Structure 1
């Protein structure tokens, strides 16, 4: 596609290998075979659709980047603000072959510079090893005044499960290994968008508390989300039964309600940014204001250092 321009040559910088991407694809494929658990993705999809409706402009060429399953693409089909919508994702993310699908990895985008008007993504980019690099690639693929709108799993997700496993493993093995991914914090997202070259960055968080009959029910749902442990530094030996049972016990002791059901917290971090364009709002130049702040506040201006 977009044969009129040559695809950009990306210079890959060295970055930490946090996630085992091959294992991630295998876990996603297993989730599809088991029957995926879609409630978080459904929530993000509905929210993303509503956010797009508030943008009063049309995006002729749009891409759904990496979203697990085609749920978001189907929801946006026929959206009044979107012309052509393509889906770009690895095969393991449930990509079905069609003229509007592209087999691609979120860490190596195949789009020409300035070829897209809109890039959306739901619950996929949290597993990218080089998130700043992925943002920069999206920025280059977008046209001036193009929009990037994405939802990622946030750093406060599954804090209860992380704590229970850390204590259980320390008690049963004498050490702690990483079990839950270190997802990005919302406080970092705005800076990463600006670093990638986006203007007007906006971030916010949707915190969701879900209750389960037991910690094992939660773990089973995570497996059906393709959200098993894919950390590159994970321990390569099977989880001990004693550790698993102790983690479930601690979880129930610390994070259960009066009716015995346990709580699990999920964070969905929302971010958006625009490619700079001359039509966008810009901050006023220093000294260009036509009214003094003191006049606006109805106070008397005092020289610096003078006691009121």
Structure 2
């Protein structure tokens, strides 16, 4: 099922070039939880945010209902397609590719599907599978990873599925892969800086890493409505939506991991649901439920859910809309492992042309 007929126009944005004034503040109810990262000192345990066992069980349970799991793959399939569109710009073949956190092999499906290409006379490009000799898909959930093992796309691309106990430890030698892709899995990683450093190691020199992850204001509508519902019905706030990385953190993390020629961009996908109950049911069927380590156990009470529905509609539903909107903010990143012969920026001051001369001379700025 393609998500494109149901999407609002995509809102694209680039990294901000100006800082927010110090006097500007955000209201507590609207401010998203921001992921904080710290360098690990030798011998100290990693600070864990997410319960990996709970996330593994959520994926297994989601895969048990195959029909419902496939119906709710619309976000993961769409993001995988958009990630693979970025691979079109890299004009090379890839003998060995790793899909890190493959879920149900959404990237493999995208690689075997014709992609939109405005430069092509037909409007589409040939599937990228012919440029990839072998794809290794790894995930912690065997049920989800093997869910679509019998579907036709498996015959169009050599695929090896590998179940690993932990996505945060890659069981591969250095310089193994010609590219590493990851779609909608990195937002569940506890030690993201360490994982990015491992990705850099398993890549061959001058090989790319392309990834997409939820970040920033993803599901900000649900987060704010649940916070207010908790305050109204229980007199306190409990985190029901997982903390997510900010786009401003991603470039620094890639740089510290050793990647070069970085590209980071953002897309907002807004999906309309009949009500908040449908939204939360889809999140569960996707395997994207709350997995914070010290979250409150058990389901939300009926009173909180009903209050959440009313508050959500009052705050976020537009006049004349068919349903309630849910925003999924996607952070796309591309980084290259350093390699011999790789393009390098020129040294500062080495330019031979003056911008003022090119623009016809004169003074710039207000007089």
* Common topology (TM > 0.5): yes
The alpha-carbon distance between structure 1 residues 209 and 241, as it changes in their structure 2 partners (threshold 3 A), is same
1:64 partner SS: strand
Deviation at 1:289, TM superposition (A): 2.1
In structure 1, distance between residues paired with 2:145 and 2:344: 40
User: Is 1:80 the counterpart of 2:130 in the alignment?
Assistant: yes
- Structure 1 residues 215, 300: closer, same or farther in 2, change over 3 A? closer
1:220 maps to 281
CA distance in 1, matches of 2:44, 2:175: 22
Whether the 8 Å contact between 1:28 and 1:92 is mirrored in structure 2 is no
Distance apart, 1:29 and its partner CA: 1.0
Could you state the TM-score of these two structures normalised by the residue count of structure 1? 0.88
Q: Contact 2:274/2:323 (CA < 8 Å) preserved in 1?
A: yes
What are the within-5 Å matches in structure 2 for residues 1-308 of structure 1? 14-34=45-65, 35-36=68-69, 37-76=72-111, 79-92=129-142, 94-96=144-146, 100-104=160-164, 105-257=166-318, 258-259=320-321, 261-299=323-361
- The root-mean-square deviation of aligned C-alpha atoms, in Å, is 2.3
Query: What is the aligned length?
Result: 294
Structure 2 residues without counterparts, runs of 5 or longer: 1-41, 113-127, 150-157
Once residues 93 and 227 of structure 2 are traced to their aligned partners in structure 1, the CA distance between those partners, rounded to angstroms, is 48
Structure 1 residue runs of 5 or longer lacking an equivalent are: 1-10
1:260 to partner: Cα distance:
5.1
In 2 relative to 1, CA 85–259 (structure 1 residues): closer, same or farther, beyond 3 Å? closer
Q: Partner residue of 2:124?
A: none
For 1:288 and 1:109, the matched residues in 2 are separated by: 41
Identify if the C-alpha distance between structure 1 residues 216 and 199 changes in structure 2 by more than 3 Å, giving closer, same or farther. Answer: same
- Please give the per-residue CA displacement for 1:32-80, whole angstroms capped at 9, x wherever unaligned: 1133111101111211222212210111111111121122223325613
**TM-score, length-normalised on structure 2?**
0.75
- Which one is further off, 21-30 or 33-42? 33-42
